[in-house]
Structure 1
């Protein structure tokens, strides 16, 4: 059972299903955003979910493991950069397979605020 007020993995999946937009999935493909699994949820909606969720390292790792476009973007938005290990960073960076995830991971602070930013070519 989740702590009161704490967002769970299941909560996130439910929100993504409610916000799913099949037309957006078709539109994303025109721009080369072609993940195997996606709900077509907009970035502003993902930012809202991330803000409501707050920083949560364990939840971020679980979201990343789901290998869904939106869960991976959310993972980079909610993970606590100070808790990220070098191995985790290496693995996640390998999975930045299209520009959208890369830009969002940098913009959300996931890479710049980590202890490994310079190792990955980011200069503050």
Structure 2
């Protein structure tokens, strides 16, 4: 590590520590995250730093959750190899880091399809969930990469019993099939109605329920399809 990067890491860690709020930590800990930094303020730190891949790697290596989140935001997604992203996903200890890594790095990586195929069958529920998140992305944006009918078969057979992180992303995939592929919509609705996954999930007013039939119906309505 160069002296400049060493100093920058220390400065970022100190700034993030100064933003720590015990009340915010309490809120985050209820969702499995181990920090108390407001994410809007954290994004402002990253915005000021701009893209800096070397600094990102060093911040990630600190194993401090807010530093890892900043690292994701200032990284160059295409600079990471598939092995890098696989290692980082397995090192990510908390939900928000995993979520940002998948959405801001893996989805933008040239290795996304390779990772999707590797992760989706992984025995680790968090890694498998990342694979399903990439699958949902493919369903919406690159459906030529996936077999929609095979996905529906797998979801129908496995989603009800899947661990919570994997189940959530499988459910997203189911909803995306129904939303983006009218020719599979009827079956997607049937599967969702039969499995009843997330039907009773608490949803704030004016927000769309994650229950797949309700989600599909609302998005189709908005699209006028």
Which deviations, in whole Å up to 9, do the C-alpha atoms of 1:49-68 show, x marking residues without a partner? 11111111111111111001
TM-score (norm 1): 0.80
TM-score (norm 2): 0.47
Q: Within the alignment, does 1:104 sit opposite 2:114 as a pair?
A: no
Higher normalized helix content (fraction of residues): 2
Bigger Rg over Cα:
2
Structural RMSD (CA): 2.1
Distance change (3 Å), C-alpha of 1:97 and 1:14: closer
- Select 1:65's aligned residue among 61, 77, 98: 61
Runs of at least 5 residues in structure 2 that lack an aligned partner in the other structure: 117-133, 142-225
Q: Which residue of 1 aligns with 2:30?
A: 30
Q: Secondary structure, in 3 states, of the residue corresponding to 1:45? A: helix
Does structure 1 retain, via aligned residues, the 8 Å contact 2:24–2:37? yes
Higher-RCO chain (CA-CA 8 Å, sequence separation at least 6):
1
Q: Secondary structure, in 3 states, of the residue corresponding to 2:105? A: coil
Aligned length: 116
Which deviations, in whole Å up to 9, do the C-alpha atoms of 1:13-67 show, x marking residues without a partner? 121122111221122222222x3xx3x1111111111111111111111111100
Match runs of 1:8-87 below 5 Å: 8-33=8-33, 35=34, 38=35, 40-87=36-83
Distance change (3 Å), C-alpha of 1:20 and 1:98: closer
Q: CA deviation at 1:12?
A: 0.8
